[in-house]
Amino acid sequence: MNPYTKYTLILSSVFLASCVNQNTKISANIMPTTNPCTKLELLKSAYYDDFAQLKEVNIGGRVSNMWKAKYQLFGENCQVFSWGGKQHTYSCSLVAPNEETARNYYQNAKKITQQCLGDEWKLEESERKHDDGMKTTFTNHDAKRSEKVTFSTHLVPTSGLFSTTWKIYYYVGNSSKPTNKKAK
């Protein structure tokens, strides 16, 4: 092997190693903990920056912009999406093997979120309108409108030809409609 080829391989290896190391550092800064309360706090902070640090790959969409998320709250199917660029939402979903498991996931998500957010966050639970599922929303009504982030979890049945599967969705975003500011 000639010296030029050796030098090129060594230099390429150094650059590749630095990229891998940098990606590891970025991942560690995004989610340096397994503590659920710290995870929720990081997601709340990321909301105020349109989840910019969590957006990995733009996967597009017909009606909205969507990005694969760098950080998975649970499962491996988390994404950030925005409707018309106005509001950004972080979303995760998980398919449960049966209704009992799905209900356990849902109850645990509700319990942990309430414990982590504290008493100023109000829990509102209701049946979903278009199916037999449930929805729990956590909102701090005392927060300023610009800081009104909402955490919610949904238990959703999806009927198939031969059986019903259950999904759990978890959202971090703003449940109020965006205001249209008119130019002065």
Q: What is the pLDDT of residues 33-65, one digit of tens each?
A: 578 898 888 888 899 889 998 888 888 777 778
Comparing CA positions, the residue from 59, 73, 68 lying closest to residue 153 is 73
**Amino acid in position 64:** S
Higher pLDDT, 85 or 173: 173
- Per-residue pLDDT reduced to its tens digit, 73-132: 766 689 998 876 678 999 999 888 888 999 999 999 999 999 999 888 999 999 998 888
The tokens describing 112, both together, are 């942990």
pLDDT of residue 175: 65
Comparing CA positions, the residue from 165, 168, 170, 157 lying closest to residue 98 is 165
Higher pLDDT, 50 or 174: 50
User: Measured between alpha carbons, how far is 56 from 36 in angstroms, rounded to an integer?
Assistant: 22
Sheet with 164-173, edge to edge strand ranges:
55-58, 65-69, 78-83, 87-96, 164-173, 150-159, 134-139, 122-127
User: Measured between alpha carbons, how far is 176 from 178 in angstroms, rounded to an integer?
Assistant: 6
Q: Are 71 and 111 in contact (CB under 8 A)?
A: no
pLDDT of residue 124: 94
